[in-house]
């Protein structure tokens, strides 16, 4: 019996309870045949089967706990690696422990040897999950539309959804995140994010307002840094993406790029970039207002760090298969199977779309980058952004003070109380 087909403990006990009734009512010869059958099905020793068949088959807790398979060095190494990339889930962390350990060792953050690397390569997802359960809550982590009017610029842009199993890099979902706080009055900062469907590669830039010049500048900055060609741009139906000025920019600068859009009122047509808006933008900047030039500069610096931190060091999982499961009497559901967690950069290298020179350049960039240092710079940038004042806050104070001064100059009219003689 293969390892994948082996029974679990509960499955063996359930099977033995059914066989126990036949065993107790059988003669000596029949009992021998039943034991042969149970030994073949359960892959257990004959003496163990006899001992269990003579008991009530109830599971009892261990009298002595097993010794931990992975001692201090492994646990300390996993703790350092997990902290360096901000405690991802065990499914994302486990398949990347070995190369991240070598990366941190190259920068003096971790001491490794062959034995430690061998153990990191063998540790299971469930063991890493138990380790993370002890640490994640004790250490600091990164902080946790209505209908739109028809737009003439949308009419000749096809509506569709990007394939979830797209293999070619360059098909990118686009979205704009508003940093207006509780009021959308005046100009404020936005985050323009493009996310590649095939590799998970993310590009974020900060733009002030949603004007044509601001959006054009944001797209130009992204295109200048994008290491692979843009094949398709897929935003939602917002007028910040589709207006006559930007359509002219698309035709002049992105003439080889296919343009598509989401269906109206189907927010989930851009699911990947919407999810990254939460984990890569809101988790770092929150929902407060950002509207000053100093904040725009600080956010741009943060996104420069994040570009390197996420694309080169954060393993991500992609859907490898979808299956529709039909349960009698219940609604059908979709079961999603995920692949091995891999960084966007490694996924990009595996596609072969990068030139040899570009791949060597980016590989050298990751090799010389210390993820612990990078994470500290990200935290410093977040604290700097939080300490910068908003322009709207200054204007609000001036407006209130002016209103108070104006009210003080208005004479107060005396209140006259009518009497019974007033109608005479």
pLDDT at 246: 87
pLDDT band at 142 (very low <50, low <70, confident <90, very high): low
Q: Which two tokens stand for residue 251?
A: 């035709």
pLDDT at 151: 59
* Rounded (5°) CA angle 209-236-254: 80
- Taking all residues of the chain, what is their mean pLDDT, rounded to a whole number? 85
pLDDT band at 412 (very low <50, low <70, confident <90, very high): very low
pLDDT at 183: 85
pLDDT band at 161 (very low <50, low <70, confident <90, very high): confident
Nearest-angstrom CA–CA distance, 219 and 64: 62
Classify 25 as helix, strand or coil: coil
128 and 265 inside one domain: no
Domain annotation covers residue 360: yes
pLDDT at 66: 67
**Which domain does 258 fall in, by range?**
154-387
pLDDT at 418: 39
Domain annotation covers residue 141: no
pLDDT at 238: 84
Contact 313, 99 (CB under 8 A): no
287 and 327 inside one domain: yes
160 and 219 inside one domain: yes
174 and 264 inside one domain: yes
96 and 221 inside one domain: no
Residue 27 gets which letter from DSSP?
-
Residue 185 gets which letter from DSSP?
-
When pLDDT is averaged across residues 403-412 and rounded to a whole number, the result is: 44
Look at residues 158, 164, 151 and name the one whose alpha carbon lies nearest to residue 268. 164
Give tens-digit pLDDT for 241-281: 888 888 888 888 888 999 998 888 787 888 999 999 999 99
Most confident region among 2-11, 36-45, 318-327 by mean pLDDT: 36-45
> Which residues contact residue 347 at a Cβ distance below 8 angstroms, ignoring those fewer than 6 apart?
198, 199, 200, 201, 316, 318
264 and 330 inside one domain: yes
Residue 366: CB atoms within 10 Å: 16
When pLDDT is averaged across residues 91-114 and rounded to a whole number, the result is: 94
Residue 158: CB atoms within 10 Å: 8
224 and 321 inside one domain: yes
Residue 180 gets which letter from DSSP?
B
When pLDDT is averaged across residues 132-137 and rounded to a whole number, the result is: 70
Contact 85, 93 (CB under 8 A): yes
pLDDT at 1: 53
Q: Which two tokens stand for residue 424?
A: 């005479």
pLDDT at 242: 86
96 and 218 inside one domain: no
Sign, CA torsion 276/278/283/288: positive
Contact 300, 372 (CB under 8 A): no
90 and 26 inside one domain: no
pLDDT at 140: 55
pLDDT at 146: 40
159 and 131 inside one domain: no
Look at residue 415 and tell me whether its pLDDT is greater than 50.
no
Give the per-residue SS3 of 270-328.
CHHHHHHHHHHHHHHHCCCECCCHHHHHHHHHHHHHHHHHHHHHCCECCEEEEEEECCC
Domain count within the chain? 3
Nearest-angstrom CA–CA distance, 89 and 91: 5
Counting residues of the chain whose pLDDT is more than 70, the rounded percentage is 85
Segment 153-156 long-range contacts (CB within 8 Å, at least 24 positions apart) = 153/239, 153/242, 153/243, 153/244, 153/246, 153/247, 154/237, 154/242, 154/261
Counting residues of the chain whose pLDDT is more than 90, the rounded percentage is 52
Classify 174 as helix, strand or coil: strand
163 and 222 inside one domain: yes
254 and 358 inside one domain: yes
Domain annotation covers residue 301: yes
pLDDT at 245: 85
Contact 205, 191 (CB under 8 A): yes
3-state helix vs strand vs coil in the chain, percent to 5:
50, 10, 40
* Length, in residues, of the chain: 424
């Amino acid at each position: 019996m293969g390892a994948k087909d082996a029974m679990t403990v509960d499955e063996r006990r359930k099977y033995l309870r059914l066989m126990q009734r036949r065993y107790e009512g059988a003669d000596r010869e029949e009992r021998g045949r039943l034991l042969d059958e149970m030994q073949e099905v359960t892959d257990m020793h004959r003496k163990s089967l006899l001992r269990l068949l003579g008991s009530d088959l109830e599971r009892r807790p261990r009298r002595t706990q097993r010794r931990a398979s992975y001692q201090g060095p492994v646990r300390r190494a996993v703790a350092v690696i997990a902290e360096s990339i901000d405690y991802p889930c065990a499914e994302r962390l486990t398949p990347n422990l070995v190369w991240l350990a070598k990366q941190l060792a190259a920068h003096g953050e971790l001491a490794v040897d062959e034995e430690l690397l061998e153990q990191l390569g063998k540790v299971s997802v469930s063991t890493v999950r138990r380790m993370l359960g002890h640490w994640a809550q004790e250490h600091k982590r990164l902080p946790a539309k209505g209908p739109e009017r028809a737009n003439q610029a949308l009419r000749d842009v096809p509506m569709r959804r990007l394939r979830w199993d797209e293999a070619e890099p360059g098909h990118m979902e686009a979205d704009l995140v508003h940093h207006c706080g509780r009021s959308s009055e005046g100009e404020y900062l936005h985050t323009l994010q493009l996310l590649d469907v095939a590799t998970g590669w993310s590009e974020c830039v900060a733009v002030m307002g949603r004007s044509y010049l601001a959006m054009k500048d944001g797209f130009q900055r992204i295109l200048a840094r994008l290491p692979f060609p843009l094949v398709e741009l897929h935003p939602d139906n917002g007028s910040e993406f589709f207006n006559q000025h930007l359509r002219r920019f698309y035709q002049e600068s992105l003439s080889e790029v296919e343009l598509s859009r989401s269906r109206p009122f189907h927010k989930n047509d851009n699911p990947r970039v919407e999810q990254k808006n939460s984990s890569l933008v809101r988790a770092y900047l929150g929902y407060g207002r950002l509207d000053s030039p100093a904040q725009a500069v600080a956010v741009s610096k943060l996104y420069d760090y994040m570009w390197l931190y996420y694309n080169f060091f954060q393993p991500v999982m992609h859907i490898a298969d979808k299956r529709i499961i039909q349960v009698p009497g219940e609604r059908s559901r979709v079961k999603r199977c995920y692949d091995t967690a891999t960084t966007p950069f490694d996924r990009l290298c595996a596609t072969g779309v990068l030139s040899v020179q570009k791949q060597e350049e980016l590989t050298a960039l990751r090799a010389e980058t210390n993820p612990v240092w990078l994470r500290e710079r990200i935290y410093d940038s977040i604290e700097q952004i939080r300490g910068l004042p908003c322009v709207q806050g200054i204007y609000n104070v001036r407006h209130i003070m002016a209103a108070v001064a104006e009210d003080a100059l208005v004479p107060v009219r005396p209140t006259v109380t009518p009497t019974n003689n007033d109608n005479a």
